Amino acid sequence: MAAPAFEPGRQSDLLVKLNRLLERCLRNSKCIDTESLCVVAGEKVWQIRVDLHLLNHDGNIIDAASIAAIVALSHFRRPDVSVQGDEVTLYTHEERDPVPLSIHHMPICVSFAFFQQGTYLLVDPNEREERVMDGLLVIAMNKHREICTIQSSGGIMLLKDQVLRCSKIAGVKVAEITELIQKALENDQKVRKEGGKFGFAESIANQKITAFKMEKAPVDTSNVEEKAEEIIAEAEPPSEVVSKPVLWTPGTAQIGEGIENSWGELEESEKEDEDEVGSDEAIILDNIKMNTGVEVFTSGNQDAPIVLSDSEEEEMIVLEPDKNPKKIRTQIISAKEEKAPSRKTVKKRKKNC
Amino acid sequence: MEEPMQTESKLCAEAGADSGSLVPGCSLRHFACEQNLLSRPDGSASFLQGDTSVLAGVYGPAEVKVSKEIFNKATLEVILRPKIGLPGVAEKSRERLIRNTCEAVVLGALHPRTSITMVLQVVSDAGSLLACCLNAACMALVDAGLPMRALFCGVTCALDSEGTLTLDPTAKQEKEARAVLTFALDSVERKLLMSTTKGLYSDAELQQCLAAAQAAAQHVFRFYRESLQRRYSKS
C-alpha cells in the first residue's frame, strides 16, 4: 500500500534492508529483557513477534518504523502466567491483568541524508529528498545518549567530526521523541483506567473536512417479516424433482429423462447425425415406456446399429442382461427376444469438433 | 464522552418500544470515515464501524503487466492484509468476494489495458470485518475518482439460535450466532451485488436478513452522502 512500486509478495531490497536494520536495533541492543520471557527454563518461553505494516511511504520509513516498533513493544501486555512446581497456569485477560514487557531502554533511529559528497546534510529526509541523496546515515540512539546501531549506506565518505555532529543532533531528536512517546503511553493508560474510548477510532480528527462520524443508528426492521413472506410467495416454487429411479441392470439406473444435447453449434457434417440422435432419443423413450409396462415399438427401433460417416462418435453398447427374475428385466428380455437385435445403441455422445 | 452515548442508547431503546415489533439489537454501530489520509495512493479511506477499522488504498488506473492485461477493460486486483501474520486462505477468499463486488460496479471498460489495485489493511477486527472492508473499498474508490455505476455498501447480519436477527454484530455476537450473513448492496435500487453466508438458516430467514440489510443499507448510503457533501460542499 505504501507506494505504487511495492508489490505484494516480493520483498524488495529496501524492505530487506529495513528489516535487517530494525532487527539489529531492537534485538541486538537487548532493549527487551528476554530472560523475563522465560516461563519454564529449558521448556517453555514466550515468543514476541512485531508485525509492521507500512501505510504510506513519503520518505524516511526507517525512523517511523523504529518508533512504531518500540512504542508497540512498550504498549504491549502479555497474559500473566504462574508456575507451581510442574504446573503452568495461564490466566486470561479477564482473570488477571496482563503484564507489560520489561524494557530496558528505547532505541530510536534518526536518519541523515547527505548531498554533494557530505557538504549538505538533511535530517529526516522526505521522499523527494531521498531519491536524490548521495548517501544515508542512520544512527539508533536511546535517551541516555547511547548509540545502539549506526549504519552508513550509499557509499559516501564521511569525516569523523561529521559523524559526531550527526550523533549530537540525533541525541537532541531522540530526547524529544522519547518524551512524546512517554506522554502518549501515559495518556493511553489514563484513558483506559477511566474507561473512556481508546484506540485507532479515537485518532480520527473530527475537525478535518475529509472526516465524518455518525453515531449509533437504530434500524427499523419491523416490516422485515412481511417483506420476506411477500418475496417467498411471489417466487416460483422449486421445480419438481423426479425421484423414481429406473433400474436397467444391477449397477445401472436412470433418474429422469435426458434432454437434447445442446453443446456447440451443429455444422454441415453433423447435421445427418442430428437425425440419428433424434432416432436414438426415440429408442430411449421407448425403453422407458417398456419399463412402465407399455410396449410400444415404433419405427425408431432399428435392428442394425447406426453407422455414421464421421465416426468420431462414441458408441455405448448395452450388454445383454443376465436372466434376472425382476419384473422389469423380463419385460426387456421378452422384447429383445422378439426383435433379436445383436446390439442396441442406447446413448450416443457427440464430441465437440 | 460517556453521557451523550448513554442518552443515545436510551433513545434507541425508546424507539424500539414505540414501533411495535422492532427486534432488539437492530442498530448499526458508531460509524466514522476519513478520506484522503494517505499521500501516495491515488485514493484512500479509513472506515470505522464500532471498534472494527479498515484502511483502504487505491492505485489506478495505472500501467498493467502484459501477462495480466485485459484488452477491453481494466484489471482489478484486491489485496487484503490481516493485522497479524501472513495472509492466508481466508484473506484470499475475502479478496475474491471484494473483487467480484468491485468489478460489478467499477466501469472498467472506460480504462482498457490498465490496472486498478486496491490494498486493504485490517487495523482492528471486532466483528463485521467483510462489511467494513467493502465500505472502506467503496469510499477509497470514490476518493480515487474512479468511474462507477453505483456505490456499494456491506452489511452483516447474525442469526442466533432463537432466530433473532442482529445487524452489524460484534465479534462476540458473531461467534455465538447460528448463522452470519454478509451482503453487498448497491446504492441505486439496493439490489444484491454479493452475498456470503456461514451457518444454518432457512430460506425465509435469508429473505428476512436480506430485507433487514436493505433497510440498514439506507443508513449507510445516507452516511456516505453526508460525508461526501461535507467534503465537497463550498460552504
Predicted local confidence at residue A183, as pLDDT:
95
Q: How many helices (H) and strands (E) does chain A have?
A: 7, 16
- Flag if A200 and B16 touch (Cβ within 8 Å): no
Tens of pLDDT, residues B112-146: 999 999 999 999 999 999 999 999 999 999 999 99
Would B13 be classed as within a structural domain? Answer: no
**Residue A15: which pLDDT band, with cuts at 50, 70 and 90?**
confident
Predicted local confidence at residue A334, as pLDDT:
42
State yes or no: pLDDT of A235 exceeds 90: no
Least confident of A22-36, A274-288, B122-136: A274-288
Tell me how close the Cα of B51 comes to any Cα of chain A, in angstroms. Answer: 7
Tens of pLDDT, residues A171-191: 999 999 999 999 999 998 998
Exposure string (b/e) for B171-200, b if CB count within 10 Å is 16 or more? eebbeebbbbbbbbbbbeebeebbebeeee
Question: Which helix or strand (DSSP H or E) is residue A111 part of?
Answer: strand A108-115
Phi/psi of residue A248, nearest 5 degrees: -85, -60
Q: Which residue is closest to A218 within chain B, CA to CA?
A: B27
Rounded average pLDDT over A154-170: 90
**Rounded (10°) CA dihedral A211, A216, A222, A228:** 50
State yes or no: pLDDT of A299 exceeds 50: no
SS3 content of chain A, % helix, strand, coil (to 5): 35, 20, 45
Is residue A257 helix, strand or coil?
coil
| Residue B136 near residue B46, CB atoms below 8 Å | yes
Would B20 be classed as within a structural domain? Answer: no
Would B21 be classed as within a structural domain? Answer: no
- Work out how many domains chain B is built from and give that number: 1
Would B10 be classed as within a structural domain? Answer: no
Residue linked to cell 519454564:
A40
Mean pLDDT of successive 10-residue stretches along chain B, which has 235 residues: 37 34 64 91 92 92 92 94 91 96 94 95 93 96 95 94 90 93 93 94 89 90 92 82
Would B48 be classed as within a structural domain? Answer: yes
State yes or no: pLDDT of A293 exceeds 50: no
Contacts of A229 in chain B (CB under 8 A): 204, 207
Predicted local confidence at residue A301, as pLDDT:
42
Instruction: Write the CB contacts of B93 (distance below 8 Å, at least 6 apart in sequence).
Output: none
Least confident of A1-5, A24-28, B77-81, B87-91: A1-5
Whether the ipTM is more than 0.85: the answer is: no
Contacts of B163 in chain A (CB under 8 A): none
| Residue B141 near residue B65, CB atoms below 8 Å | no
Instruction: List the domain range (segments joined by +) for residue B61.
Output: 31-233
Predicted local confidence at residue A251, as pLDDT:
84
Predicted local confidence at residue A243, as pLDDT:
64
Taking CA atoms, B12 is separated from A214, A219, B9, B20, in Å, by: 14, 9, 5, 13
Interface test with B, best of A11, A47, A94, A219 (most B CBs within 10 A): A219
Would B147 be classed as within a structural domain? Answer: yes
Q: What angle do CA B191, B193, B197 make, to 5 degrees?
A: 110
Tell me how close the Cα of B5 comes to any Cα of chain A, in angstroms. Answer: 8
Would B16 be classed as within a structural domain? Answer: no
- Flag if A228 and B210 touch (Cβ within 8 Å): yes
Beta-strand ranges (E) seen in A205-302 are 211-214, 217-218, 245-249, 252-255
CATH of the domain at B128: 3.30.230.70
> What length is written for chain B?
235
State yes or no: pLDDT of A304 exceeds 60: no
DSSP secondary structure code for residue A305 in this structure: P
Better-predicted residue by pLDDT, A55 or B19:
A55
Would B50 be classed as within a structural domain? Answer: yes
Q: Which of A200, A215, A222 has the CB atom closest to B8's CB atom? A: A215
